[in-house]
Amino acid sequence: MAFKLMDSKVGERARFDRLDEAQQSLSEWIDKQRSANEPVVEQPTGQWSDSRITIWITDEHDQVLKLA
């Protein structure tokens, strides 16, 4: 099973074999943005947005997965 880290500017940013790896990558991005005083908010869809892009995880069926 492949999990993808997607963003609204470049599309697929990275591919992971395990969900926890994708979640860790997304969490790191959120933490990095917040430490730079960039507000990051979770959308009802499970996507995360700052002032420039939206980023999210998908499964092999391109379904958005929420950050657990």
29 phi-psi bin (left φ>0, alpha ψ -120 to 50, beta other) = alpha
Q: DSSP letter string over 52-67?
A: S-EEEEE-TT--EE--
Side chain identity, residue 3: F
Which pLDDT score is estimated for 11? 94
Domain boundaries, the chain: 3-65
pLDDT digits (tens, 9 = 90+) for 31-66: 999 999 999 999 999 999 999 999 999 999 999 999
Q: In the prediction, which pLDDT does 67 show?
A: 87
**Cα–chain center distance at 29:** 8
